[in-house]
Amino acid sequence: MTKSQMTESRGRNLKDRMEIQHLSRNTQRTTDSLKSIIESHQIEASAPCRIDMGGTLDISTFYFPLRHLSPCTVNMAIDLKTRIRFFPHDKGMVKISSKGFTSAEYPSDESPFDHPLGLMFAIAAYFRADGIHIDIHSSSPPRSALGGSSAAAVALVGAFSYIFEQTGVKPLSRLQIAVLAQALEASVAGVPCGLQDQLAAVYGGVHAWTWQEGVGKPYFKKKVIVRRESFNDLKRHLLLAYCGVPHESKDINKKWVRQFLEGKNREIWAEIVACTQKFAQALNALDFKEASALMNRETNLRREMTPEVLNDVGEELVDSAVKNRCGARFTGAGGGGCIWALGEIEDIDKIKGIWEKVLSSRKDARLLDVTIDSEGLLCNIQK
């Protein structure tokens, strides 16, 4: 890379950071305007959840040492949206309500970031929100490993950016919204966090993300692997189930990170990289047979490292999919939450009845809609 190329790249990254910081500084001067807009307008933002393959490779702990292998992740944004609405509230207070959680309110300068809704409070604090009630509604089950919390963060950051645009502040780009939402999540999570969930939420669609292109370059590359005109057909090749048990990704992610830092399972992660790359190629070619085989290989590799990545219901769903020539994988870091399957239409139709029977034995377990979302983050403001 030439000196001029490095300077140009650093300039782009610095420009993004400066624009985010500029919005933050302007936020401090427009708190009164924010309150006025919330009182006089209906404000809503939404962002989709995702199903994924190759997750964890979007965490820098993994993609820096594995850079020579060009690690990538694949995600499909699905039309299970997380919606944010703003309402006026008592001066000096921030209230947050979300399905599946007890509503909470605190003085704006005393809100806890280690709370179950701590990420939302952290975002409100970043934008100096005051006298506001943030209502969150998710179409996905709570803690279903579909990236719902990241989608909520994207929607909330996007909503604040959109509001301040009405006061003359330059809005954040989609990329800046994703980067800021991830940075705020990482600051309160207590564990390493990736970026693929936020990218799926802002852009929608079906993408492969290649991580850490090189020193001085943007640290990921986006590639569309299924185009919008194929979404309706792709849906017929997919199945998604909620196992009825909320997941706890922190425990499994911590274990993967700890093992990797200790020098363990490096060859397994190299094979996971290869599986994900080949999966992206197969899906791009709409070769569902090859993509299914690669899904199953990747799932087996994860189970080898962490058997607890599938609960008893998940094991039944995965095993039945494999027996019927489909691929099956947990979403996110597993340990509960959702399982998704991919295969030829006739095979997916066959396992649908099997999955319904398995899920009927577990409270709250059910099949979920897998319509591909093509829009990503949406914001709307009305008087």
Dihedral through CA 85, CA 88, CA 94, CA 98, nearest 10? -30
CB 72 within 8 A of CB 273: yes
pLDDT mean by block of 10 residues, the chain; 383 residues: 39 50 53 75 93 95 94 97 94 91 93 95 94 94 90 96 85 94 92 92 98 70 96 97 77 91 97 98 98 98 94 95 97 92 98 97 93 96 77
Give the pLDDT of residue 322: 98
Residue 151: predicted pLDDT? 97
Sheet holding 238-242, edge to edge: 327-330, 338-342, 238-242, 366-367
User: Token pair of 1, please?
Assistant: 């890379």
The reported pLDDT for the residue numbered 358 is 96
Q: Are 86 and 159 in contact (CB under 8 A)?
A: yes
Query: CA-CA distances (angstroms) from residue 80 to 36, 138, 319?
Result: 31, 7, 26
What separation in angstroms does the CA of 103 have from each of 95, 116, 134, 228, 298? 7, 10, 10, 38, 39
CA distance 360 to 243: 10
Domains, the chain, ordered by start? 3-226+373-382 (3.30.230.10), 229-367 (3.30.70.890)
- Decide: pTM greater than 0.75: yes
Strand 220-226, strand 93-98: pairing: unpaired
pLDDT at res. 331 = 95
Strand partners, 206: 76, 226
- Decide: helix, strand or coil at residue 115: coil
DSSP-assigned beta bridge partners for residue 82: 47, 138
CB-based contact 45:84 (threshold 8 Å)? yes
Please list the residues that pair with 327 across neighbouring strands. Answer: 342
